[in-house]
Amino acid sequence: MKQPVLAVVGPTAVGKTRLGIELAHKYNGEIISGDSMQVYEGLTIGTAKPTLEERREAPHHLVDMLSPDTPYSAADFKEKAEPIIERLHGEGKLPIIVGGTGMYIRALLHDYSFYDAKKQESVREKWELYARHYGSEALHANLERKDPERAAAVHPNNVRRVVRALEILETSEEGPTLSKKMQKKHSPYASFMIGLTMNRPYLYERIERRVDRMMEGGLEHEARWLYERFGEEVQAAQAIGYKEWFPYFRGDQGTDWVAERMKRNSRRYAKRQLTWFRNKEDAHWYDITDRSRPFADEAFASILRQFEREHR
């Protein structure tokens, strides 16, 4: 019998962290971060990590584990998360994946197989060289030919993500996008996914307020530490909230530009996240707009009853 895993997904700033904690309280669960950047030590403000108080409310795993110069792939996430899930099941606890990095969560819940690191590195170098020679548009065109659905979720200018997508296609057994039927067949867990969404203007307003709080809360200091100690090329430096500061540190832009670019990039990222989860995953969607207490709402209660019928 497959063991249950609950996942809470959705765009940035939608409220996943708070809901995950409340679900952990309700179902005797612990949280596994499904975020590709919260794993890095020292990057707290820009990655919107759960606060220390929130981590005391419910145990969080895969947060503050790696130095920012350490690569962290979907394969790495899967490798680290699987033994945590096994241990939690052994303790009678519910693993709750909370995050917005769709490929990582998908790799875990649908048991992707990955080839060895040397092959991955070779494939990555091949596509990085291709991008330098032929440009980002040509690189993205290759991804579009191989997997149109995945290409639609990645902006052509985000060379790192396009390269990563091509790398995964070549070095995993996944191949082009699997059908939903195949996804369910190969899932090693009895997974149940709750997707959070909200009115787009309200979500964008929340994103912009979050950026303002980050700017006021010391993000510049955090980004400068990353820039001066590790440079611009490490994986962690490509995250929204950090890469936008580098032109400012070089003297090319001001802080107003940094804030506006962060807001723009975050809005675009939120849109891509929604596209990914709606197209890729069979989530139970809940519109959290203007609902500060989802557990008191009948629509959300109905989702939880379905989870309990199927997996408890």
Dist. CA 65–CA 38, nearest whole Å: 9
pLDDT more than 70, % of the chain: 93
pTM to 2 decimals? 0.81
Answer yes or no: is 218 a known binding residue: no
Question: Quick one: 90 and 135 in the same domain?
Answer: no
**Model confidence pLDDT, tens digit, residues 21-66:** 999 999 999 999 999 999 999 999 999 999 999 999 999 999 999 9
Answer yes or no: is 51 a known binding residue: no
Domain count along the chain: 2
Answer yes or no: is 175 a known binding residue: no
Domain that holds residue 230: 4-111+180-311
Question: Quick one: 285 and 212 in the same domain?
Answer: yes
pLDDT above 70 (res 178)? no
Answer yes or no: is 13 a known binding residue: yes
Question: Quick one: 294 and 149 in the same domain?
Answer: no
Question: Quick one: 95 and 120 in the same domain?
Answer: no
Answer yes or no: is 12 a known binding residue: yes
**Model confidence pLDDT, tens digit, residues 9-25:** 999 999 999 999 999 99
Question: Quick one: 258 and 307 in the same domain?
Answer: yes
Answer yes or no: is 294 a known binding residue: no
**Model confidence pLDDT, tens digit, residues 182-235:** 344 467 899 999 999 999 999 999 999 999 999 999 999 999 999 999 998 888
pLDDT above 50 (res 161)? yes
Q: Which CATH number goes with the domain that contains 127?
A: 1.10.20.140
The answer to whether residues 259 and 272 touch, using CB atoms and an 8 Å cutoff, is no
Question: Quick one: 163 and 246 in the same domain?
Answer: no
Answer yes or no: is 10 a known binding residue: yes
Considering only 69-78, 146-155, 240-249, 294-303, which range has the smallest mean pLDDT? Answer: 146-155
pLDDT reported for residue 182: 33
Last residue of a domain, one of 124, 143, 171: 171
Answer yes or no: is 17 a known binding residue: yes
What is the residue-averaged pLDDT of the chain?
90
